[in-house]
Amino acid sequence: MSTTVRPFRFGVQAFNAPTPQAWRDLARRTEDLGYSAFHLADHYIGGGPQLAKTNHPLQTLGSIPAMAVAAEATSTIRIGCRVFCVDYHVPAVLVKHAMTIDWFSGGRLEFGLGAGWLAGEYEAMGVPLDPPGVRVGRLEEMVQLTRALMAPGEVDHHGTHITTFGFQGEPQPIAAPPPIMVGGGSSRVLAMAGRLADIVSINFDNSSGVIGPVGVNSGKAAATEQKVQWVADGATAAGRDLPELEIAAYFTFVVDQPAVVAERFGAAFGMTADDVLEHPHALVGTVDGICDELVRRRELYGISYVTVGDSNLEAFAPVVARLAGT
């Protein structure tokens, strides 16, 4: 489907750094290269059999303190988490910590929220993994509560999953409330994001609870077009226009040997090389080819906010230099 074009914006997601100074340097380098946001994910278990069975990369750093250090090391980029798992946090406490980072950073928070999905991590930490409908319902209430805590006045939220009342959220935003990103891949999450979020991060169908072929295949072209439609449906139901929302996606990038890489990646996830080359969550090719493909995908899906892993920070910088803000 075609949507109104929004300017390109680019972010970096980081998991680890060998030293505290390397973490600060990574955040500063991200800013210097013209990226607009620096993110972590929200994962807590270290290496071991529970992490191994999820196929998820290791994140050595806790999200909130690492965000605070990155905010202190930089001056212009937004700082965020892509995305906080609402099941891992007391709702009002999470918003308090996030808004404190917003206050210290001069209003540079980007607040990402998700329903959670990594089954092995839930199990390892002793956190109950509720059915999807319960988790999504909790996420929706968390977005509503966050809006209330970011606004003046007394909070009064008595929901099915969250009860918070009788006080005002502090600190309040320095200027405009921070943008709220909602991430997910199901119809219910994406429709809800269309109603309530500022940024919609389109993800795979992660109902399997692990990174694997089922999830990766759920992000192919036709499925992504359907996901954007779910976002549009949610926006319409709330009286919003889809162009009011920023559509985001996380990509894997390589900039050389596209045929070889596409073949190898496809074999790992049960796809053909052609599937990989047109997969909306993968970009394989030269800088020129990637720029052309991003423009095409923006026209097709409305995806204008692109996040890369920190291992691709330097290689992807020429794309950022060419397309950011256009």
Residue 191 has pLDDT above 50, yes or no: yes
Contact present, 79 and 101 (Cβ < 8 Å): yes
Residue 71 has pLDDT above 90, yes or no: yes
pLDDT of residue 1: 44
194 alpha carbon, distance to own chain's centre: 15
pLDDT digits (tens, 9 = 90+) for 137-163: 999 999 999 999 999 999 999 999 999
pLDDT digits (tens, 9 = 90+) for 107-135: 999 999 999 999 999 999 999 999 999 99
pLDDT digits (tens, 9 = 90+) for 50-64: 999 998 999 999 999
pLDDT of residue 95: 98
Read off the tokens for 320.
């950022």
Q: What is the mean pLDDT of residues 182-189?
A: 94
Which stretch of DSSP H or E encloses residue 165? strand 163-168
Q: What is the mean pLDDT of residues 215-220?
A: 74
| C-alpha to C-alpha distance for 290 and 298, rounded to whole angstroms | 12
In this prediction the pTM is 0.94
- Residue 11 confidence class, pLDDT cut points 50, 70, 90: very high
Q: What is the CA radius of gyration of the chain?
A: 19
CATH fold of 9-323 reads TIM Barrel (3.20.20)
Residue 28 has pLDDT above 50, yes or no: yes
Higher model confidence: residue 218 or residue 117?
Answer: 117
Which DSSP state fits 242? G
Read off the tokens for 293.
């493909």
Read off the tokens for 122.
């839930």
Nearest residue to 91 via CA among 129, 151, 144, 153:
144
| C-alpha to C-alpha distance for 218 and 213, rounded to whole angstroms | 8
- What percentage of the chain carries pLDDT values higher than 90? 77
Q: 58 to each of 53, 103, 204, 295, how far by Cα in Å?
A: 12, 29, 19, 32
Residue 210 has pLDDT above 90, yes or no: no
The residue ranges of every structural domain in the chain are 9-323
Residue 34 CB coordination number (10 Å): 16
* Three-class HEC string of 75-133: CCCEEEECCEEHHHCCHHHHHHHHHHHHHHCCCCEEEEEECCCCHHHHHHHCCCCCCHH
- Residue 215 confidence class, pLDDT cut points 50, 70, 90: low
